[in-house]
A and B are shown apart, each in its own frame.
Chain A
Amino acid sequence: MSTLDATAETARRPLAGRRVHLGDVLLQLVAGAAALYTLVLLGLIVYKVVQGARLSMSTFGLGFVTSVGWDPVHNAMGAGSFLFGTAITAIGALLLATPLAMGVALFLTELAPAAIRGPVTALVETLAAIPSVVIGLWGIIVLGPFLRDHVMPPLHSALGFIPLFGPYSTGSSIFTAIVVLTIMILPIIASISRELFLGVPGELKEAALGLGTTRWEMVRGVMFPYARGGVAAAMILGLGRAVGEAIAVTQVIGAGTNISWNLFNTGDTLASKIAESYQGYTTNLEGASLFYLAVILLVFSLAVNLVAQMIVRRVDRRQGRAV
């Protein structure tokens, strides 16, 4: 019997009947400590953020969450416009990125010639590796002016009756932030969806095609339902990224502190407000209010994650019944 076999044999033996080895105990301790460490770290972060926000919480109370404006001179601050900005940019980016990502994933799994699959897949994944500060810089210099000159004018003249596409003036806008976020979350959703589509059993697809469906009918009837739960999870991952992204958004959103339904106006998000103001706040109350924004961002992200998990679970359950 070789050493290798012996090891495999050891691993299969149930732990209960074993002699206690010092090494095993140590391993358990080390691994346990590592797990505990993350928990303690999370706890400390939450504690510190809430502690930092205490002054603002006692001054403004819960009204802070919905009140609009950021005026450290007159001690009037609120999270309303930042919550709005976070929601509208994240949802907007998700709405733009999801169909695009589906297209990319379908192309890479079903439609693309084998020769270009590899390179394009690698390129999509490279997109995810671009540092956000670089995307932000490109957003200021290239994307913002381009959107202002070539995208906002036709959108405004064609859809100007919808408040979302109102008058435009600069390249720094909520809309620019949405496009930048779309670029950042597209590869996340696309690469996960691609994996999911690859996982659809070949027999199912062949059976559908064999029944005489077109390729699109096969995609719609077999692949989408099969991957639905996973795609929902991928979208949530993208949403999480969009909600938390700070630097790139700070660079292109234009730091406005009012609520406007016009996507071409400037705005701000929770994360970008914290990033741009934290280093230079003037009063203790402003500093505490920035911490308060961080608390809201934490709760917001947590809520998004919980809702997401619920959706995924429900979709899975429904799917389980259907299959």
Chain B
Amino acid sequence: MPRNGKLVRITLALAAAALLGALAVTSAGAAGKRSAGTLSGAGSSLVAPAVAQWSTMYSADTINYAALGSGAGIKAISARTVDFGASDAPLTKSQGQGCHGCAQIPWALTATIPVVNIPGVGDHQLKLTGTVLANIYLRHITKWNDPAIAAINKGLNLPNQNIVVVHRSDGSGDTYVFTNYLSKVNKEWKTKIGCSTTVSWPAGEVGGNKNAGVAAAVKSNPDSIGYVSDFYAIQNHISIARLKNAAGSYVLPKISSIEAAAQLVKGTKIPANNKISLTNPPKSKKYKNAWPMSTFTYVLVPDQTPKAAQLKAFITFALSPAAQSAIKKLIFAPMPAVVIKAAKKTLATIHS
């Protein structure tokens, strides 16, 4: 008899201990999430290298950033599970409403670029036009030695091989920039596929998860083509293709060509939501050097947040000349002064 009672007592004691432990963990978790000294963010994998660079330079707060993809960043900030989100694609109308009062602030400038893995073709050698790129992704062009590709690549030894087409399988800002550009240069693309962070790809393509997944798929599959953020191509040593801009020159995604595309904002009024598209700059001598798939990338913050002061300090730092030039080595171009000004104006509206 005494034994039974003891057993029950032990069970109860254990249960109580477990309950207390669970409570302690929960409250510690809640406190940890909002404690002073850290800012947590999530989203765009394109901007992730820049945020990582900034967080090593920034000492006022610890920055925890999770590169989950732009779509995930928008979701995270809408649910307020992070202090800031990051997206390469500006918020759509329904996303803006879903975010319940979020400001989108441009904080970095870079590019999405086509990368290839063709045996016998080196870095910077392959030339592509928007139309050819669209036709490859629409599967109208299926072989590397297709006349349309050969005509603009005289002297290159293009194989008689099927093109392995790689795209992003998750919701992605790079997909947004890529499809935004192709929608501007190809009518069929615009009506059939459209422009979004997730689109319906024609049959037979290969999906890769995040920038790293696309880079891995391109690297491991000979005769493949994909698109990634500039930095990921360089880091993974994948061959970058030249792209013909509207002005007619075959350009490479360099800081100078991204800056050239950003000239677009000069003399225009930046809208209140800071939505600026840099894809396919018009046919003009001014944009002779411009990379056609350049993009601003945005930080998303709630209009009203208890961490307003901390967020403002961090984003002000990110917009500073020191921070902007520190990420040049990661192939981010410094943002034009008018955009910095517009960004600061929006930032000033954030309050606690």
A-to-B contact residues, CB < 8 Å: 3, 6-7, 10, 21, 23-24, 26-27, 30, 69-74, 76, 140-141, 144-145, 148, 167, 169-172, 250-251, 254-258, 260, 265-266, 268, 276-277, 279-284, 286
| Of B197, B200, B217, the contact of A172 (CB 8 Å cutoff) | B217
The answer to whether A282 touches B71, judged by C-beta atoms less than 8 angstroms apart, is yes
The answer to whether B216 touches A71, judged by C-beta atoms less than 8 angstroms apart, is no
B265 at the interface (CB under 8 A from A): no
The answer to whether A276 touches B207, judged by C-beta atoms less than 8 angstroms apart, is yes
| Of A251, A256, A268, A282, the contact of B198 (CB 8 Å cutoff) | A282
CB distance from B145 to the nearest CB of A (A): 16
The answer to whether A284 touches B94, judged by C-beta atoms less than 8 angstroms apart, is yes
Q: Nearest 3 CB-CB pairs, A to B? A: A280-B71, A280-B171, A255-B207
Which residues does chain B contribute within 8 Å of A141, judged by CB atoms?
A: 216, 220
Beyond A171-B220, A277-B198, A279-B171, list 20 extra A-B contacts (CB 8 Å). Answer: A21-B5, A23-B4, A23-B5, A71-B199, A145-B221, A170-B221, A172-B221, A251-B209, A255-B206, A260-B204, A276-B170, A276-B207, A280-B69, A280-B70, A280-B172, A281-B171, A281-B198, A282-B92, A282-B196, A284-B98
The answer to whether A3 touches B220, judged by C-beta atoms less than 8 angstroms apart, is no
Which residues does chain A contribute within 8 Å of B92, judged by CB atoms?
A: 282-283
Interface-centre pick from B3, B94, B98, B171 (highest chain A CB count, 10 A) = B171
The answer to whether A258 touches B203, judged by C-beta atoms less than 8 angstroms apart, is yes
How far apart sit A268 and B223, CA to CA, in the bound complex (Å)?
23
Which residues does chain A contribute within 8 Å of B3, judged by CB atoms?
A: 3, 6-7
B23 at the interface (CB under 8 A from A): no
B339 at the interface (CB under 8 A from A): no
With A21-B4, A144-B220, A171-B220 as given contacts, are A26 and B203 in contact (CB-CB < 8 Å)? no
20 pairs, A vs B, C-beta closer than 8 Å: A7-B3, A21-B4, A21-B5, A23-B4, A30-B11, A30-B12, A30-B15, A71-B200, A72-B198, A74-B200, A145-B220, A169-B164, A254-B206, A254-B217, A255-B206, A256-B204, A276-B170, A276-B207, A282-B92, A282-B196
B315 at the interface (CB under 8 A from A): no
CB distance from B237 to the nearest CB of A (A): 16
Which residues does chain A contribute within 8 Å of B95, judged by CB atoms?
A: 282
The answer to whether B207 touches A266, judged by C-beta atoms less than 8 angstroms apart, is yes
Interface-centre pick from A69, A170, A280 (highest chain B CB count, 10 A) = A280
The answer to whether B71 touches A73, judged by C-beta atoms less than 8 angstroms apart, is no
With A73-B193, A172-B206 as given contacts, are A280 and B221 in contact (CB-CB < 8 Å)? no
B201 at the interface (CB under 8 A from A): yes
The answer to whether A27 touches B200, judged by C-beta atoms less than 8 angstroms apart, is no
| Of A73, A265, A266, the contact of B200 (CB 8 Å cutoff) | A73
Interface-centre pick from A24, A76, A141, A255 (highest chain B CB count, 10 A) = A255
Which residues does chain B contribute within 8 Å of A140, judged by CB atoms?
A: 213, 216-217, 220
The answer to whether A170 touches B199, judged by C-beta atoms less than 8 angstroms apart, is no
Interface-centre pick from B5, B94, B95, B198 (highest chain A CB count, 10 A) = B198
Which residues does chain B contribute within 8 Å of A71, judged by CB atoms?
A: 199-200
Which A residue's beta carbon lies closest to that of B92?
A: A282
How far apart sit A7 and B3, CA to CA, in the bound complex (Å)?
8
The answer to whether B207 touches A280, judged by C-beta atoms less than 8 angstroms apart, is no
CB distance from A258 to the nearest CB of B (A): 4
How far apart sit A30 and B12, CA to CA, in the bound complex (Å)?
9
The answer to whether B75 touches A23, judged by C-beta atoms less than 8 angstroms apart, is no
How far apart sit A132 and B176, CA to CA, in the bound complex (Å)?
30
How far apart sit A88 and B207, CA to CA, in the bound complex (Å)?
19
Which residues does chain A contribute within 8 Å of B146, judged by CB atoms?
A: none
How far apart sit A283 and B207, CA to CA, in the bound complex (Å)?
20
Which residues does chain A contribute within 8 Å of B164, judged by CB atoms?
A: 169-170
CB distance from A68 to the nearest CB of B (A): 10
How far apart sit A76 and B200, CA to CA, in the bound complex (Å)?
9
Which B residue's beta carbon lies closest to that of A145?
A: B220
The answer to whether B8 touches A27, judged by C-beta atoms less than 8 angstroms apart, is yes
Within 8 A of A (CB), among B50-70: 68-70
Which residues does chain A contribute within 8 Å of B195, judged by CB atoms?
A: 73
Which B residue's beta carbon lies closest to that of A255?
A: B207
Which B residue's beta carbon lies closest to that of A74?
A: B194
The answer to whether A256 touches B203, judged by C-beta atoms less than 8 angstroms apart, is yes
CB distance from A12 to the nearest CB of B (A): 14
The answer to whether A250 touches B71, judged by C-beta atoms less than 8 angstroms apart, is no
CB distance from A175 to the nearest CB of B (A): 13
Within 8 A of A (CB), among B154-202: 162, 164, 169-172, 193-201
How far apart sit A71 and B208, CA to CA, in the bound complex (Å)?
17
B211 at the interface (CB under 8 A from A): no
With A27-B8, A257-B200, A260-B203 as given contacts, are A282 and B171 in contact (CB-CB < 8 Å)? yes
With A3-B3, A170-B224, A172-B217 as given contacts, are A265 and B198 in contact (CB-CB < 8 Å)? no
How far apart sit A141 and B213, CA to CA, in the bound complex (Å)?
11
Which B residue's beta carbon lies closest to that of A167?
A: B162
Which residues does chain B contribute within 8 Å of A26, judged by CB atoms?
A: 8, 12
How far apart sit A73 and B171, CA to CA, in the bound complex (Å)?
12
Interface-centre pick from B1, B71, B94, B207 (highest chain A CB count, 10 A) = B207
Which B residue's beta carbon lies closest to that of A254?
A: B206
Which residues does chain A contribute within 8 Å of B213, judged by CB atoms?
A: 140, 251
The answer to whether B196 touches A279, judged by C-beta atoms less than 8 angstroms apart, is no
How far apart sit A3 and B5, CA to CA, in the bound complex (Å)?
14
